[in-house]
């Protein structure tokens, strides 16, 4: 064991000295987690400010302002301000106080009721594409609803010999509008993590597979340098060399994930869960990553091919396992397929420790799966790698 | 010939080589790589304080032999013991007494000389003040004390070679295996390496030294095994090997006086094969110049000639190799 620790310590010294492991294991995943969290914060916490210039003041204009647009306010995605004139509304947009202006022209209600064409003018700010699109979409939907209602009113008028009065028409049109925007909370195990936490953990497990391969792949480097032969010519067994390499990877993986968990918590407000449970699942994930990378490496002949194969496996498993997007939103087949990856079980395990009444014990099945994956692949890979080390 | 041992610091004792314990015994080693039988029945032994050379061209089986000796390569047949303990790939503990210096560099380029030495020293069980003092001593031996904290990849080729050797010496092994340690080394570093190896031999270490440089084998080795095509073709001291092919030493005496008388007098000596003189130079062919030279000089003086200069030309191992294999040593590996 002492010799294995010496080899691991030497490896750590080399890896930290060339900074590659710091880049792969900490900097890259942390950077991406921050970027993802910032990008997605714009989606999940979207809030637009609209300014409405109602030049009409009629029943239907008020219905649009108070019913349709107000539903956006009720959904928490928009605030609505009013402007006295179209110029004032446009000035608000140009000044950046509003994302988009909606202008209801004079004669808006009358035109609709008389079946004449009219319009809602939507003027978007330069950097408010999404807010403008929503305003345009809401306006279009309102216009579509009016068109079909107008048709119905005209039909009724023909049949009854007289159209309904203005108030009646407005009531019909207002009733025909379904809420413009409805937020639906999809309850799944993955969604129990906030998006910030989800992508922090996702990037961490994705890059863990790059960091975990360091030990196994460095066997090829030791062989190339001749230092493997030198060690084996001394009182050191091949299994001890492999144990040292594995121990080095284990320490790198644990330290890297711990740093990421702490850093994303502090920097971007990720919530990984109860420390004991997080520690257990980190350990299990690192073991799984080392096992798989050892197995993959044992099939390779050179350092370059081992690095390439491990990277390909890391990316493939990362995509399948939902590190880039929640698999709960993917087709059922993909969701099922993700369960062959440690990534999915890692994210699921973290998710299971969140939510009302959730405990660390809830993550135990995921931890068990991760450990099983690591131990099975690691045992096969270790046996194959031992033959590779011994064969000369 | 006697070898001095420093095993007892208080007294220097002269011990005959044959009386020293055998450190390495390799018996009937065989190794095959597919259709190629790389090593065919190689046997030799090395005693304490003895430097044994395996001299042969590239591809002769030297590295394969040394790899089997240190348990790095599994044998197809034969046996290796160090101090009577069998060595094999799986015999980990028994390898502790071996210092191995591979032909290719085996150092960590991104670690300093000191870090390289400390790492390998710890692997061999050194620690604390013992490790510290051994690292300092070895750095001194390989002349890298001033560069101890520099990364190995900043070193010249010769310095890297010296570090490569230093790692093998660190734990003061009973047996040092040097596999062509001077290949690709500049003349100055090469000389320093050879001096270090000679010093180690004098200190009592058993050394197995493989080389395809005849001069190195002659300079360093107490005994030489000439290896070609996986077989040891001949073995012995340089003189024994030369004698094996019937080579004589040529002693050239620059002299004045009665050279004809001197020629006749020396020709009568036992061990002198022939003598002739020309232009003030007396040329004498002898079986062993080292033992005969005093008698030769005395005989010349007694005959009335005055010796002004002596030159001895001995047959070398190149000639032995040529005789045994039918090819020149320096061309055989090409």
Three-state SS string over B201-263 comes to HHCCCEEEEEECCHHHHHHHCCEEEEEECCEEEEEECHHHHHHHCCCCEEEEEEEEECHHHHH
Residue A53 domain flag: yes
Give the span between the Cα atoms of B70 and B63, in whole angstroms: 11
How far CA B145 is from CA of B67, B120, B148, B188, in Å, comes to 30, 17, 5, 18
Residue A230 predicted with pLDDT over 70: yes
Give the span between the Cα atoms of A204 and A331, in whole angstroms: 24
Cα torsion for A286, A291, A297, A299, to the nearest 10°? -160
Give the span between the Cα atoms of A318 and A234, in whole angstroms: 40
pLDDT of residue B4: 35
Which of A122, A154, A176 terminates a domain? The answer is A176
Residue B332 predicted with pLDDT over 70: no
Given pLDDT bands bounded at 50, 70 and 90, which one contains residue B50? very high
Q: Looking at per-residue confidence, does B130 or B285 come out higher? A: B130
Tell me the two tokens of residue A170: 């407005």
**Who among B72, B107, B122 is closest to A229 (CB)?**
B72
B136 Cβ contact partners less than 8 Å away, ≥ 6 residues apart: B145
Q: What is the pLDDT of residues B58-83, one digit of tens each?
A: 888 999 999 999 888 889 999 999 98
- Asked if residue A107 and residue A219 are part of one domain, the reply reads no
3-state secondary structure labels for all residues of chain A: CHHHHHHHHHHHHHHHHHCHHHHHHHHHHHHHHHHHHHHHHHHHCCCEEEEEEECCCCHHHHHHHHHHHHHHHHCCCEEEEECCCHHHHHHHHHCCCCCEEEEECCCHHHHHHCCCCCCCEEEECCCCHHHHHHHHHHHHHHHHHHHHHHHHHHHHHHHHCCCCCHHHHHHHHHHHCCCCCCCCCCCCCHHHCCHHHHHHHHHHHHHHHHHHHHHHHHHHHHHHHCHHHHHHCCCCCHHHHHHHHHHHHHHHHHHHHHHHHHHHHHHHCCCCCCHHHHHHHHHHHHHHHHHHHHHHHHCCCCHHHHHHHHHHHHHHHHHHCCCCCCHHHCCHHHHHHHHHCHHHHHHHHHHHCCCCCCCHHHHHHHHHHHHHHHHHHHHHHHHHHHHHHHCC
Residue of chain B minimizing CA distance to A17 = B110
- Asked if residue A60 and residue A12 are part of one domain, the reply reads no
A230 contacts in chain B (CB < 8 Å): 100, 102, 106, 120, 167
What number is the average pLDDT over the span B12-30? 76
Give the span between the Cα atoms of A97 and A88, in whole angstroms: 11
Residue B329 predicted with pLDDT over 60: yes
As for the ipTM of the complex, it is 0.75
Residue of chain B minimizing CA distance to A3 = B123
Domain that holds residue A135: 47-176
Give yes or no for B105 touching A (CB within 8 A).
yes
Residue A250: name the closest of A33, A11, A26, A30 by CA: A11
Give yes or no for A47 touching B (CB within 8 A).
no
A237 contacts in chain B (CB < 8 Å): 90, 92
Q: Which of B123, B160, B173 best tests the A interface by mutation, with the highest count of A CBs <10 A?
A: B123
Give the span between the Cα atoms of B208 and B222, in whole angstroms: 10
- Asked if residue A81 and residue A26 are part of one domain, the reply reads no
B173 Cβ contact partners less than 8 Å away, ≥ 6 residues apart: B97, B98, B99, B205
Residue B1 predicted with pLDDT over 60: no
User: The whole model's pTM is what?
Assistant: 0.69
- Asked if residue A330 and residue A203 are part of one domain, the reply reads yes
Give yes or no for B111 touching A (CB within 8 A).
yes
User: Which phi and psi angles does B134 have, rounded to 5°?
Assistant: -65, -40
Judge: A225–B70 Cβ closer than 8 Å, yes or no: no
What number is the average pLDDT over the span B307-320? 83
B108 contacts in chain A (CB < 8 Å): 10, 14, 225, 227
Mean pLDDT over the full length of chain A: 83
Query: In DSSP terms, which residues pair with A51 in a beta bridge?
Result: A81, A101
Residue A169 predicted with pLDDT over 70: no
B104 contacts in chain A (CB < 8 Å): 226
Domain spanning B248-314 has what CATH number? 3.30.70.100
Residue of chain B minimizing CA distance to A392 = B73
- Asked if residue A330 and residue A194 are part of one domain, the reply reads yes
Give yes or no for B72 touching A (CB within 8 A).
yes
Tell me the pairing of strands A100-104 and B272-278.
unpaired
Taking only residues 200 to 239 of chain A, the set having a beta carbon closer than 8 angstroms to any beta carbon of chain B reads 225-227, 229-237
Residue A370 domain flag: yes
CB B166, CB B159: distance < 8 Å? no
B64 Cβ contact partners less than 8 Å away, ≥ 6 residues apart: B31, B38, B39, B73, B230
Give yes or no for B93 touching A (CB within 8 A).
yes
Given pLDDT bands bounded at 50, 70 and 90, which one contains residue A351? confident
Tell me the two tokens of residue A107: 């004669």
- Asked if residue A382 and residue A244 are part of one domain, the reply reads yes
Which range is least confidently modeled, A122-131, A188-197, B121-130? A188-197
Given pLDDT bands bounded at 50, 70 and 90, which one contains residue A181? very low
B279 Cβ contact partners less than 8 Å away, ≥ 6 residues apart: none
**Who among A226, A227, A233 is closest to B71 (CB)?**
A233
What number is the average pLDDT over the span B300-321? 85
Give the span between the Cα atoms of B262 and B143, in whole angstroms: 50
Strand ranges across the sheet with B305-313: B272-278, B281-286, B249-257, B305-313
CB B252, CB B310: distance < 8 Å? yes
pLDDT of residue A378: 93
**Residue tagged 């309904």 (tokens):** A164
Residue B229 predicted with pLDDT over 50: yes
Residue B137 predicted with pLDDT over 80: yes
Q: How far is B100 from chain A (nearest CA, A)?
A: 7
Q: Looking at per-residue confidence, does A246 or A131 come out higher? A: A246
Give yes or no for B68 touching A (CB within 8 A).
no
CB B278, CB B227: distance < 8 Å? no
Tell me the two tokens of residue B184: 């690709």
Q: How far is A286 from chain B (nearest CA, A)?
A: 27
Given pLDDT bands bounded at 50, 70 and 90, which one contains residue A192? low
Give yes or no for B73 touching A (CB within 8 A).
yes
Cβ atoms < 10 Å from Cβ of B300: 27
Q: How far is A336 from chain B (nearest CA, A)?
A: 45
- Asked if residue A386 and residue A297 are part of one domain, the reply reads yes
Which of A176, A199, A232 terminates a domain? The answer is A176
Mean pLDDT over the full length of chain B: 85
Judge: A235–B92 Cβ closer than 8 Å, yes or no: yes
Give yes or no for A151 touching B (CB within 8 A).
no
Residue A107 domain flag: yes
Go through chain B and tell me how many residues it has.
334
Give the span between the Cα atoms of A31 and A344, in whole angstroms: 21
Tell me the pairing of strands B305-313 and A48-54.
unpaired
Judge: A10–B109 Cβ closer than 8 Å, yes or no: no
Ordered by start, the domain boundaries in chain B are 3-243, 248-314
Give yes or no for A3 touching B (CB within 8 A).
yes
Give yes or no for B96 touching A (CB within 8 A).
yes
- Asked if residue A310 and residue A218 are part of one domain, the reply reads yes
Judge: A14–B109 Cβ closer than 8 Å, yes or no: no
- In total, the C-beta contacts within 8 angstroms joining chain A to chain B are 71
Q: What is the pLDDT of residues A236-279, one digit of tens each?
A: 888 999 999 999 999 999 999 999 899 989 988 888 888 999 99
Helix (H, G, I), strand (E, B) or coil at B69: helix
Taking only residues 172 to 231 of chain B, the set having a beta carbon closer than 8 angstroms to any beta carbon of chain A reads 177
Give the span between the Cα atoms of A257 and A57, in whole angstroms: 60
pLDDT of residue A42: 55
Number of domains in chain A: 2
Q: Residues B3-243: name the CATH superfamily.
A: P-loop containing nucleotide triphosphate hydrolases (3.40.50.300)
Q: How far is B68 from chain A (nearest CA, A)?
A: 10
Query: Domain of A80: which CATH number?
Result: 3.40.190
């Amino acid at each position: 064991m002492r010799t294995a620790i010496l080899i691991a310590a030497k490896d750590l010294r080399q890896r930290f000295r060339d900074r590659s492991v710091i880049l792969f294991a900490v900097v890259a995943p942390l950077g991406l987690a921050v970027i993802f969290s910032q990008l997605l914060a714009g989606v999940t916490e979207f809030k637009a400010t609209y300014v409405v210039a109602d030049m009409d003041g009629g029943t239907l204009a008020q219905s649009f302002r108070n019913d349709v647009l107000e539903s956006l306010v009720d959904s928490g995605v928009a605030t609505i301000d009013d402007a006295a004139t179209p110029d004032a509304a446009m000035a608000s947009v140009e000044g950046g106080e509003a994302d988009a202006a909606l202008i209801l022209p004079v004669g808006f209600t009358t035109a609709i009721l008389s079946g004449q064409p009219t319009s809602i003018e939507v003027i978007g700010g330069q950097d408010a594409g999404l807010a403008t699109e929503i305003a345009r979409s809401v306006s279009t939907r309102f216009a579509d609803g009016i068109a079909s209602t107008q048709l119905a009113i005209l039909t009724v008028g023909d049949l009854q010999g007289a159209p309904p009065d203005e108030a009646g028409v407005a009531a019909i049109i207002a009733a025909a509008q379904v809420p413009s925007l409805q937020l639906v909370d999809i309850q799944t195990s993955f969604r129990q993590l906030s998006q910030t936490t989800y992508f922090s953990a996702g990037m961490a497990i994705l890059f863990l597979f790059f960091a975990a391969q360091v030990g196994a792949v460095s066997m090829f480097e030791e062989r190339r340098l001749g230092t493997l032969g030198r060690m084996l010519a001394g009182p050191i067994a091949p299994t001890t060399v492999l144990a040292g390499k594995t121990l080095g990877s284990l320490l790198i993986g644990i330290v890297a994930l711990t740093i990421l968990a702490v850093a994303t918590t502090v920097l971007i407000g990720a919530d990984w869960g109860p420390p004991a449970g997080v520690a257990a699942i980190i350990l299990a994930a690192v073991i799984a990553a080392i096992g798989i990378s050892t197995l993959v490496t044992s099939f390779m002949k050179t350092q370059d091919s081992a690095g390439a194969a491990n990277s390909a496996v890391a990316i493939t498993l990362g995509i399948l396992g939902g590190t880039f997007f929640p698999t709960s939103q993917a087709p059922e087949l993909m969701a099922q397929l993700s369960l062959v990856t440690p990534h999915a079980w890692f994210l699921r395990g973290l998710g299971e420790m969140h939510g009302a009444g959730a405990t660390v014990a809830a993550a135990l099945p995921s931890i068990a799966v991760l450990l099983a994956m690591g131990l099975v692949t690691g045992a096969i890979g270790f046996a194959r790698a031992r033959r590779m080390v011994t064969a000369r | 010939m006697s070898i001095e041992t420093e095993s007892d610091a208080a007294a220097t004792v002269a011990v005959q080589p044959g009386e020293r314990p055998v450190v390495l015994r390799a018996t009937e080693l065989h190794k095959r790589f597919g259709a190629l039988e790389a090593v065919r029945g190689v046997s030799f032994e090395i005693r304490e304080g003895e430097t044994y050379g395996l001299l042969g061209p590239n591809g002769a089986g030297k590295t394969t032999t040394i790899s089997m000796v240190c348990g790095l390569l599994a044998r197809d047949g034969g046996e290796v013991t160090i101090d009577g303990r069998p060595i094999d790939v799986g015999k980990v503990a028994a390898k502790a007494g071996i210092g191995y210096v591979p032909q290719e560099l085996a150092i960590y380029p991104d670690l300093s000389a000191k870090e390289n030495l400390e790492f390998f020293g710890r692997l061999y069980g050194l620690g604390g003040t013992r490790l510290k003092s051994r690292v300092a001593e070895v750095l001194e031996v390989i002349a890298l004390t001033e560069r101890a904290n520099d990364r190995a990849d900043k070193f010249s080729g010769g310095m890297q070679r010296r570090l490569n050797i230093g790692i093998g010496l660190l734990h003061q092994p009973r047996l040092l295996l040097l596999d062509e340690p001077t290949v690709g080394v500049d003349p100055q570093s090469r000389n320093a390496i050879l001096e270090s190896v000679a010093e180690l031999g004098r200190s009592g270490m058993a050394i197995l030294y493989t080389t395809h440089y005849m001069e190195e084998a002659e300079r360093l080795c107490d005994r030489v095994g000439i290896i070609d095509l996986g077989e040891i073709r001949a073995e012995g001291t340089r003189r024994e090997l030369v004698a094996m092919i019937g080579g004589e030493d040529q002693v050239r005496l620059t002299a004045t006086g009665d050279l004809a008388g001197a020629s006749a007098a020396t020709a009568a000596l036992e061990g002198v094969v022939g003598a002739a003189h020309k232009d003030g130079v007396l040329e004498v062919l002898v079986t062993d110049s080292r033992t005969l030279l005093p008698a030769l000089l005395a005989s010349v003086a007694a005959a009335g000639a005055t010796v002004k200069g002596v030159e001895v030309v001995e047959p070398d191992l190149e000639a032995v190799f040529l005789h045994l294999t039918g090819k020149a040593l320096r061309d055989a590996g090409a």
